[in-house]
Structure 1
Amino acid sequence: MDLIHDRRTDCYSALGKMTTGDYLSLVRGAHAQRGGITGQREVLKTTTAKRIRDRMISDIRAGAVLPPVVIGVIVDQSVVDDISSGALSDISLFLGAVSRHELTIIDGMQRTAALIDACEIDVSIASREMRVEFWVARSVRSLVYRMLVLNTGQVPWTLARQLSVVYAPLLEEIKNNVTGIDRIFSPDKPGRRVASAQFSSDALVELYLAFSLRKTNVDTKETLSEEFSRLDFVDNLADTGFQDHFYSALSMLVELDKAFDRYDNGNSGRFSRGKEVFGSQPARIGFMVAIAQYVLGRPGLDREIDERSTRMDTVVKHASAMVIKLNGLDPVGVGGFLRLDVLSEILDKKVGQVGRYERSVFVEAFKVLIEDAFEIPNMEPCWRAS
């Protein structure tokens, strides 16, 4: 393997040769899952795309060498140590180490589809050599940064589509870094929220986007040609503490969600129980954006890295004190604090673009909570802030 350390993102670029058959065995599962995650761009099925793929298949059969396919993999520290020491310079040893982890196809879905089809037509192609580049990282932050900055991309990709490439590793990091999450639903493991600390995978990815962009109205169809959004995202990823800030904010949300869940008045209605506050995606996004703007700064007005860490420590301290206070109340006391009747009345207004309105209500509410250091008698002044 030809190994180069990317010191900017602390990734390793490993370029090697392997047989087409070994490559397809390695990534067949990831390819079947559209790159290894839900939401990745599928093999294109338009008439022109099929014609191009047919041309690629005929070129492969004629002996063409394709550009390297790029595979992303998040590994633990022991694998990184073995790579840096040179212990995995042999391709077979390298593959043995990384194949135990979840692989994602960053660049090469169409080429992989063409290789599969070509091998079905001519089995001898499986024994031919091809080039594969692995990007090996310890953090999903590094892999996302690498893609957004260094990938050229054949077509404009949305931010959500870029993130979808590292969808599974991001969710795995959330599980490892955010204590208290009970369940994460996904298209492969569907379910519905029946208690606090349960979230859909799509909702968590949207929270990641909202936190980085510091905007409540995240257009997941927004393309990377929207340079301001792309630059905001990249600038935040350039801060090595950004990922930890996101996990801290999400941990606060989970703890408050559990504290709110202790209230249940037994009635029907949208906000009759405490768990329904953060059962609402607008509320979750409002909370994450309010924290992001306080900690990271407003879009276009970024805070210094040291100030970000200080502000996050302050918010965590104040939020933790509020959680302790709520957990010391009985369920009726939690209900009195939440004042969900006021929230219901405010959200019952007949307005256009309900989702946009609700997100604005919640972000303003949680800005008040943060500005008042989480020291409020109840949530009414928050709900009425908008």
Structure 2
Amino acid sequence: MDLKVIGLARDLRTSTPVAYAQLPVSDYLEVVGDEFENFSIQRRRENHKAYQRLKLDIKAGALLPSITLAVKPDKVAGITPLFEAAERDEAGLGALANALGVHGNVDILDGLQRTYIMTDLKKEGHGFVPGQKVLVEFWLESDLKKLIYRIIILNAGQKPMSIRHQLELLFMSLKTSVEQSIDGLEIYTERDNTRRRRAKKFPLSAVVSGYQAYITSSAELQKDNVIANQLIENSALDSSEEEISNQFSRFSHYLSQYADLDEQVYRIYRNQAVEDEGAEAEHEGVEKNARVTQVNYASWLASENVIMAFFAAIAQFSSSDAKSHRVDEAISALVTELKSVTDGNDPLGLDVFEQLRAGNNPRRVNVGLATRKLLTNGFKEFFRESGEMPLSECWKLAAE
């Protein structure tokens, strides 16, 4: 590994240590490994003509703009002392370089498409020009608040990137930390080649959608009105570091409570299934035949529609401090109630919910939009009553 640290700095806005390094293309690809593709979840690989030209330039030995890597939060503590030692004495740069060059310690913040192209060339058997190197910034940040600000705000100022893509980057970097902060939580990706077979296990895409719904106060993440969608995204990004960090802390708090709810819901409904004739399966654990769909309510809370609606409802209802306490009271009351419920009951009123949802005529309304609206309004009714009204009644009110 021929990685050379050529400079040290600190971001004066966040006090984040940054190491500037240079290394051969082949060594760079070894550092990021094949795992860098995890960042492409639900994100298209770009195929602009400009990238074809860039590929030819790289083959010819062109020097690329610097790539930004973030040392994974759980690895920062072991590398920071080496950074500080190198700040005091340049003799420590070698040890820092060795630590930064370990495979699997980083995530890509900026440079995904360039890395795709270099990987393609390697797979095609291309021999990179001798002496051709890559400039890299290594960000050493374990404070989630600062890393959130770094990814969402600073990255937004460098190039156009949708809020969805930024949040995917965020959660890929923070996945381990979020899991460790909530007992029993597991966040999995499509690449993990696994399925939900227990409570507190959620797909990453659904968690990202939940967070996006929370910060935009909307369960409609793909609005037909482009201007309205842009205004929502700009509003979500127009926040200070403190506001964003507090927002993420509140989301994590509610995600923990949501996981507790899921644990009880999974226990109560795991042996229950209903026949939903002609409906499209929206839950995992689904078996189909020619006429009916078997919907297993045990995974109801893992549905992306439900997660988005739940967190959008929290954001909408608790927009004022005077109401926010009702959300906590409602969720706490529901968890307590569910713990006393035995198998075979329907404390969430899901039979009523499914009847109301099935009443939408797919020829006249967008069923997905109508479902999310019913869910969001139902949860808001539940929060408004501090959990004292049964959810079965809340669904009915939401449908009126």
- TM-score of the superposed pair, with normalisation by structure 1: 0.78
Of 249, 253, 267, the match for 1:244: 249
What residue identity is the alignment partner of 2:30?
S
Report the equivalent of 1:218.
Answer: 221
Cα-to-partner distance string for 1:124-165 (whole Å, 9 max, x where unaligned): 52x455421122221455334323433367864222222333
Decide which moves more: 265-274 or 95-104.
Answer: 265-274
1:262–1:124 Cα change, 3 Å = closer
| Counterpart-to-counterpart distance in 1, 2:325 and 2:103 | 36
Find the aligned partners of 1:369 and 1:7 in 2 and give their Cα distance. Answer: 45
Q: 1:256 to 1:28 in 2, by over 3 A?
A: closer
Q: Is the 8 A contact 2:68 2:111 kept in 1?
A: yes
Other-structure match for 2:375:
362
Give unmatched runs, 5+ long, in structure 1.
298-302
State whether structure 2 residue 95 is matched by structure 1 residue 93: yes
The aligned amino acid for 1:168 is: M
- Change in Cα spacing, 1:236 to 1:384, as seen in structure 2 (3 Å) is farther
Count of paired positions: 363
Superposition pairs of residues 345-360 of structure 1, within 5 angstroms: 345-351=355-361, 352-360=365-373
Distance 1:54 1:3, change over 3 A: same
2:16 counterpart letter in structure 1: C
The whole-number CA distance in structure 2 between the counterparts of 1:252 and 1:191 is 24
Once residues 42 and 273 of structure 2 are traced to their aligned partners in structure 1, the CA distance between those partners, rounded to angstroms, is 38
- Shift of the alpha carbon at 1:226? 2.1
1:206 aligns with 209
Within the alignment, does 1:107 sit opposite 2:110 as a pair? Answer: yes
Q: What letter corresponds to residue 82 of structure 1 in structure 2?
A: P
- Indicate the SS of the match to 2:23: strand
TM-superposed CA distance for 1:198, in Å, is 2.8
Which shifted more, 276-285 or 243-252?
276-285
The equivalences for 1:60-139 within 5 A come to 60=61, 64-76=62-74, 78-79=77-78, 81-82=80-81, 85-87=84-86, 90-98=92-100, 99=102, 102-113=105-116, 117=121, 121-123=126-128, 125=130, 127-139=131-143
- 1:282 pairs, out of 299, 302, 305, with 305
1:171 to 170, 175, 178: 175
1:152-185 deviation line (CA, Å, top 9, x unaligned): 678642222223334422322331222233x434
Matching residue of 1:26: 31
Q: CA contact under 8 A between 1:20 and 1:130: conserved in structure 2?
A: yes
Candidates 328, 332, 337, aligned match of 1:325: 337
Contact 2:184/2:200 (8 A) holds in 1: yes
- 1:339 is the counterpart of 2:349: yes
Contact 2:214/2:251 (<8 A) preserved: yes
Question: Does the 8 Å CA contact 1:156/1:223 hold for their aligned counterparts?
Answer: no
Shift of 1:49: 2.5
Structure 2 runs not aligned, ≥5 long: 277-293
Amino acid at match of 2:372: R
CA distance 1:128–1:354, change in 2 (3 Å): same
Please say if residues 12 and 137 of structure 1, whose CA atoms lie closer than 8 Å, have aligned partners that are also in contact. yes
1:177-218 per-position Cα deviation (integer Å, ceiling 9, x unaligned): 22233x434221234434433322211111121111110101
Match of 1:226, as an amino acid? Q
With over 3 angstroms needed to count, the CA separation of the structure-2 counterparts of 1:37 and 1:74, relative to structure 1, is farther
> Under a length normalisation based on structure 2, what TM-score does the superposition of the two structures give?
0.76
- Cα RMSD for the two superposed structures: 3.6
Q: What whole-Å deviation, never above 9, does each CA across 1:237-293 have from its counterpart, x for those lacking one?
A: 642222221111111112112222343474533597652532432222111111122
For 1:83 and 1:261, locate their aligned partners in 2 and report how far apart those are by CA, in whole Å: 46
